[in-house]
Structure 1
């Protein structure tokens, strides 16, 4: 039987592009999103056989829904070979605005707890099997905090550290943990950014490189590589120089809270 990959946030952007890359490699697909009808329309448009996929409607921020989804996946399709926790949201926050604390909580719940809720139900079965790959989608934004991006940067820094911890925990079991940190990728998540996005990469190009890195079992990779160089430089910059460099940079648009 063909290997199985499960991808959250599969209704658009990186998740959709990675689903296509895996489909072309002959994988069966377990696709997870809140907007399941969008996934269905995309699959129909690309003439992907219903024999090769299943769609699961679930919100990664709801641990109970994710547990039910995982049980349904393992019953219907079997235990995945690769699980990619890709679902995420990005909004600017202003900590001085009381309503934005709720926005930040939503970002952290989706981007951090959603990764743990995605991985959790599959860990024990993968350990029992002695194989499997868990992939967390971090971000270059998780390497240093950017003004106006407090919620998103904090969430992606947490994903990077969480995956690193989990990798150490699972190392003796045969289960691999891979952390991928995209730079700027042309997706709905970045389309409203009002600032320069160096080395902007198309989602399908990112997906092909990401799938190669996952297949190679690489524990951590920044894509594109140029952003990896930038990230390392930013990490070693002294705080005063870093602060001056980003002074006046446009903020991520805030969510409109009613």
Structure 2
């Protein structure tokens, strides 16, 4: 085990920790001497993983919560502070990615669920920690958004809109906390090989493993960066996407396969 801190008892609170990016970030933090507060709707999956990895039971706790229900994730945050103390790092990572067709009434309900998890879930995850962190004088609130939040993609109206909103929300919060010594980091992954992306019907350039992404995201959070697009190739692609004229962008995405509708996969 390596450590990047003189205080190996630092605590990371991570949502969506049962798989994918959240699980990879948890393992990366643990290997560096951090203690973990792991959050997911299904705590049994986290506990199974913890046993498989041989995690020291004194260095982690599991909290079952649904970030789409504000009172649920806020209660989990409060339990964490009571049982483990105030985290040094909070990662609002939990998210869902569903294709939608706005012409269909039932997809409006699906879109609301995506917004509840991917936007309000980030704010609700941070909520309980903001005042205690500001009072203490340090801490980092990291929101995991997506490069998909930079432009709208056909069939991705819910996901792209939610991630654009998450980016704007984190930027707003960063301004509100300026001078408090509480950092706000917005992390924008490109394509990462997780359960959310494995059934995508289109090419995924610069695809990363969750472990490779976690290492780069961890460095960005520890450096106190306000904004990080990962990997660097996607950062350049993201900048180009933002500046392309609409007519050019529309031609580029014309005919692109859409993401599966959530209801079509039931």
TM-score band by shorter chain is over 0.9
Q: Distance in 2 between matches of 1:22 and 1:68?
A: 23
Q: Partner of 2:104 in structure 1?
A: 97
Q: Partner of 1:162 in structure 2?
A: 169
Match of 1:66 among 51, 64, 73: 73
C-alpha deviation, 1:127, in angstroms: 0.7
Q: Partner of 2:30 in structure 1?
A: 23
Matched, 1:47 2:47: no
C-alpha deviation, 1:121, in angstroms: 0.4
1:30-79, CA deviations, whole angstroms, 9 ceiling, x for partnerless residues? 00000100000000000001000000000001111122111110010000
Q: Secondary structure at the match of 1:91?
A: coil
Q: Partner of 1:248 in structure 2?
A: 255
Q: Distance in 2 between matches of 1:61 and 1:149?
A: 19
CA RMSD for the aligned pairs?
0.9
Matched, 1:223 2:230: yes
Off by >6 Å, runs of 4+ in structure 1: none
Q: Distance in 1 between matches of 2:134 and 2:105?
A: 43
Q: Distance in 2 between matches of 1:102 and 1:45?
A: 37
Gaps of 5+ in 1: none
| Length, aligned pairs only | 258
C-alpha deviation, 1:174, in angstroms: 0.7
C-alpha deviation, 1:187, in angstroms: 0.3
Q: Secondary structure at the match of 2:37?
A: strand
1:88-139, CA deviations, whole angstroms, 9 ceiling, x for partnerless residues? 0001000000000000000000000000000000000001101110000010
Q: Partner of 2:160 in structure 1?
A: 153
Match of 1:139 among 143, 146, 155: 146
Q: Partner of 1:57 in structure 2?
A: 64
1:180-230, CA deviations, whole angstroms, 9 ceiling, x for partnerless residues? 000000000000000000000000000011111100001100000100000
Q: Secondary structure at the match of 2:173?
A: helix
More displaced stretch, 17-26 vs 1-10: 1-10
Q: Partner of 1:114 in structure 2?
A: 121
Matched, 1:190 2:189: no
Q: Partner of 2:39 in structure 1?
A: 32
Q: Partner of 1:85 in structure 2?
A: 92
Match of 1:13 among 15, 20, 28: 20
TM-score scaled to structure 2, two decimals?
Answer: 0.96
